[in-house]
Amino acid sequence: MKHRTFFWFFLPTGLAMLLFIAMPIVSVVTQSLFTPHEAVLVTVETCTPFSCAQETTIDQEATAALREQSPMGRFVGFDIYTDRGHLAFSEVAQAWHSSDSFGEFLKQLNNLPFYRAMGFTIVFVFVVTPLVIVMGLLIALAVNTVNARLKGIVIFFSLLPFVITPLIGALVLFWMIDSRGIIGTALQWMAGDPSLSLKASTGLMWISLMIYGVWHAAPFAFVIFYAGLQTLPMDQIEAAQIDGASRLQRLRYVIIPHLMPLVTFVALIQLMDNFRVFEPIVGFNASAHATSLSWAIFNDLGGETRQLSSAAATSVITILGVALLLSPVLVRTWRDYKGKV
């Protein structure tokens, strides 16, 4: 295709992405390098319906003058990235020097918001992604054996957790796992411990979040693998059968290699989505036990005083994190691409 033709075909989508994604990314990166000006504080008398008192406020005229001089704010370079709320270089160094054992160091690291969020995010990504793929594959293989008349209804129910609005799905499950909800009560009964509460323990909360993650995303993997199974090369399977390959061997040497590109695709999407895990944390009210990078951004933007630079820095770190996470897949895609051309 000629460059010119390509340009016209690509223009609408390119323009949309340029305006609404690329430009905001540029502004986010800029934002993360600048902070608001030093506030000029003055103490004045403040009166409320209840009383008058001396309180500190911002001297607007002096601050306006500062803003006039440099409207972008103060340039701070990578200071935001290295402060306690993010990579926390000095705190990490201090923790390294002051702790006697590696376990102690990890404990101190876990006390820093960024590393705590990373801790949960990484565990979530690397537990949920493989489980989603395995679950999806098992469901697809199992559904494939179901009687043709029942297939429709089974597929229908299987897809539900995926199509449901994530926030709503999380809420529904959150209501059910309450210590007096049906699942919570069932667990108490099974464990024989009436004081068991999923929401009160960090470990159980993590497990609940991950179960939600798998429950929500497995149907996505399922439907894609199921579609893949419909295009299985029957001649190869029959050939393998004639060669005396067992069911398991056929799965291992014919079916899985056939589905491999789909596994890559699902892994790619899942790695990215799980790295940005957010809705279940809000839906489960789980921030006491688990936080993620997206939650940190939400928290920075949601306070009475919005911390835009901090949120911007976390966003940039998120993009870099995703890029890093996907790099093996991307390198593979690049090789495939080179091979094809």
Partner 1 sequence: MFLKKFAIAGAMAALMSTSALACEISARVSIVGNEFPAIQSVGAGAQACTGAEVKTNLTADHQKINLPGMQGNPAEYTSAIIANSSIVALMNEDVIRPLDDLVAKHGQGLKKNQLITIDGKIMAVAFMANAQHLVYRADVLEKIGVQPPKTYEDMLAAAKMIREQGIMENPVGGAYAAGWNLAEEFVNMYLGMGGSHFKPGSAEPNINTEAGIKTLEMMKALSDYMNPDFLTHDSNATNAEFRAGNVALMNMWGSRAATLVSADGVAQEVVDGFAIDGPMTVGGGSIPASTLWWDGWTVAKNISDEEAEATFIAMMNGISPAMMANEEIRTQAVWLIDGYQPTDAAKGVFAAAGMNTIPYPMLPYMGLMHTALGNELVDFMKGDESAEQALKDAEAAYIAAAKEKGFL
Partner 2 sequence: MSSRANKMPIALRIVASLFVVTWVLMAAFPFVWTFWGSFKVELDFFSIADWTNALTGPRTQETYGSAFTGAGYHGAWVEEEFMRNVINTFIVCFFVVCTSLTFGTLGGYALSRSGYQYTFWLLIAALIFRAMPPITLVAGYMLPFFEWNLWGILPTTIIVLVAINQPFTLWMLHSFFQNIPKELDESAKVDGCTQFQAFRHVIIPVMWPGVITTGLFSFLLAYNDFAVTSMLLSEGNRTMVPQIAAFLGTTYTEGNIMFAVAAVVSATAPLFVLVMVFQRQIVSGLTAGAVKG
- Residues numbered 192-211 forming contacts with partner 1, rule: CB under 8 A: 195, 197, 199-200, 202
Min. distance of Cβ 60 from partner 2 in angstroms?
20
- Of 16 and 288, CB closest to partner 2: 16
**95 vs 224 by CB, closer to partner 2:** 224
Alpha-carbon dihedral of residues 259, 265, 266, 270, nearest 10 degrees? Answer: 160
Subset of 149-188 contacting partner 1 (CB under 8 A):
178-179
**Site for partner 2 contains 111 (CB under 8 A):** no
Tokens of 288: 């006491």
Segment contacting partner 1 by CB under 8 A, of 54-62, 131-139, 142-150, 322-330:
54-62
Report the partner that residue 163 touches, choosing among partner 1, partner 2, none (CB closer than 5 to 8 A by kind).
partner 2
Tell whether residue 37 is a contact of partner 1 (CB under 8 A).
yes
- Rounded to the nearest 10 degrees, what angle do helices 308-340 and 23-33 cross at? 130
Pairing, β 52-58 against β 41-47: antiparallel
Q: How far is CA 252 from the centre of its chain?
A: 31
**Which parts of 216-275 interact with partner 1 (CB under 8 A)?**
none
Taking the complex as a whole, how short is the minimal distance between the CB of residue 299 and partner 1, in angstroms? 7
Cα-based torsion angle of the residue sequence 96, 201, 286, 99 in order, rounded to the nearest 10 degrees = 0
Stretch touching partner 2 by CB under 8 A, among 64-72, 86-94, 109-117, 295-303:
295-303
Question: At 44, is the secondary structure helix, strand, or coil?
Answer: strand
In whole angstroms, give the CA distance from residue 77 to residue 109: 24
Q: Which of 90, 111, 165, 202 binds partner 2 (CB under 8 A)?
A: 165
C-alpha distances (whole Å) from 23 to each of 14, 106, 287, 318, 339 are 12, 38, 31, 17, 33
**Which of 130, 257, 261, 328 is close enough to bind partner 2 by CB under 8 A?**
261
CA distance 166 to 6: 37
Query: Distance between alpha carbon 108 and the CA centroid of its chain, in Å?
Result: 24
Q: Where are the beta strands (DSSP E) in 190-250?
A: none
Write down the least CB distance from residue 41 to partner 2, Å.
Answer: 25
Identified binder of partner 1 from the candidate list 121, 307, 315, 318, rule CB under 8 A: 307
> Which one of partner 1, partner 2, none is in contact with 165 (Cβ closer than 5 to 8 A by kind)?
partner 2
In the region spanning residues 286 to 305, those forming contacts with partner 1, defined by CB under 8 A, are 286-289, 299, 301-305
Residues 6+ positions from 1 with CB-CB distance below 8 Å = 9
Question: Does residue 113 bind partner 2 (CB under 8 A)?
Answer: no
Alpha-carbon distances of 35 from 28, 77, 79, 112, 306, rounded to whole Å: 12, 10, 10, 21, 12
Q: Which entry of partner 2, partner 1, none binds 111, CB below 5 to 8 A by partner kind?
A: partner 1
Q: How far, in Å, CA of 279 to CA of 285, rounded?
A: 10
Q: Given the complex with partner 2, which of 93 and 330 has the nearer CB atom?
A: 330
Contacting partner 2 within 14-43 (CB under 8 A): 14, 16-17, 19-22, 24-25, 27-28, 31
- Residue from 261, 275, 176 nearest 217 by CA: 275
Q: Tokens in use for 264?
A: 């890559």
CB distance 113 to 296 below 8 Å: yes
From the list partner 2, partner 1, none, pick the one residue 91 interacts with, judged by a Cβ distance below 5 to 8 Å according to partner type: partner 1
Task: Choose which of 105, 106, 265, 287 interacts with partner 2 (CB under 8 A).
Answer: 265
Contact set with partner 1 (CB under 8 A): 35-39, 41-53, 55-58, 60, 63-64, 74, 80, 83-85, 91, 111, 113, 178-179, 195, 197, 199-200, 202, 284-289, 299, 301-307, 309-310
